[in-house]
Copies of this chain bind each other. A is one copy, B any other.
Amino acid sequence: MTSLQSFKEYHVPKIEQQLSEQILSIKAPVVLKEAMNYSLSAGGKRVRPLFLLAVLDLLKVNHRDAWTVGATIEMVHTYSLIHDDLPSMDNDDFRRGKLTNHKVYGEAIAILAGDGLLTYSFGVLARLQEVNAENKLELIHLLSRAAGAEGMVGGQVLDIESERKKVTVEELETIHINKTGALLSFSIEAGAILAQADYITRKALTDFGFHIGLAFQIQDDILDIEGTTEELGKTAGKDVASEKNTYPALLTLNGAKEKRDWHYDQAILSLRQISEEPGLIDELAAYIVNRNK
């Protein structure tokens, strides 16, 4: 077993336990809690919390709130998936091989389950036990920016606007930096905040987050072409069929792979500024660009 495998086998159940416990503790209508829990427990790679934990591993810090913060990020990620899948947005029936939230609970409850997850996450950050007040406020400020109009929400708007027109590579990059990069970068920065990292370390981690986020997204586009529906848990080839703006569409498949590898290399170079020895976070980064689902 690689160290990444044992790392995931240790941490993923802890994150998922946090998710269940958090949802269970909410005093809310049963159907709402069920809908929130349905999408939270629908699998997923838990990439964002794992990056947070890998940053702490890199900086050799144990933090008792790490799983809680990781779970919070997963809640925000899940809210964005629920809303993105809605009929008025991407209109997806399946996600990770399971019916999407609105296909099970209807659109109204799906929208509200997303709203509930998003709103709850800020409360969790405000109540963290082992983080000082200033750091909690910094986490909340950065999450608000990453998740909101200046980040994910704005990125989704740009993505919608880019449908039915050709965009440039720069425009596509802006979409992805906001739509998916912002929350991944937040996860990495949150690790740095929990570890009370110094300015230079934090700057290197921010650069790492930027590049690994783009590499992650380019691999997503590549998988739509090279992956199978079974592996992906969603319809492969959908991007090509819908003439979606993707890196392979704009750069050819090989061009996209080159760009992915360039961002991956930049990400790894940033890590070397922090630690000369490759560590677990290197393995996680490599997994991100080599995954088949």
Q: List the interface of chain A (C-beta within 8 A of B).
A: 26-29, 31-33, 36, 83, 86, 88-89, 106-109, 111-112, 114-116, 118-120, 122-127, 133-134, 136-138, 140-141, 143-145, 147-150, 153-154, 156-158, 160-161
Contact = CB atoms under 8 A, between A and B. Distances in A.
B160 A108 contact: yes
A106 B119 contact: no
Given A122-B140, A124-B144, A133-B134, 4 more contacts: A32-B149, A115-B118, A122-B144, A126-B138
A120 B133 contact: no
B28 A116 contact: no
A158 B111 contact: no
A160 B109 contact: yes
B26 A149 contact: yes
A33 B141 contact: no
A141 B118 CA distance: 13
A71 to B, nearest CB: 15
B32 A154 contact: yes
Nearest to A80: B115
A215 to B, nearest CB: 24
A119 B120 contact: no
Given A116-B153, A118-B118, A161-B29, A123 B144 contact: yes
B89 A108 contact: yes
Nearest to A133: B133
A115 to B, nearest CB: 5
A149 B118 contact: no
Nearest to A138: B126
B89 A157 contact: no
A140 B126 contact: yes
Contacts of A125: 140
Given A120-B149, A140-B126, A141-B123, A109 B157 contact: yes
Contact of A133 (B28, B86, B124, B137): B137
22 contacts: A27-B150, A29-B157, A29-B161, A32-B149, A33-B149, A83-B112, A86-B111, A88-B107, A115-B115, A116-B148, A118-B119, A119-B144, A119-B153, A122-B143, A122-B144, A123-B141, A123-B144, A124-B144, A126-B137, A126-B138, A126-B140, A133-B137
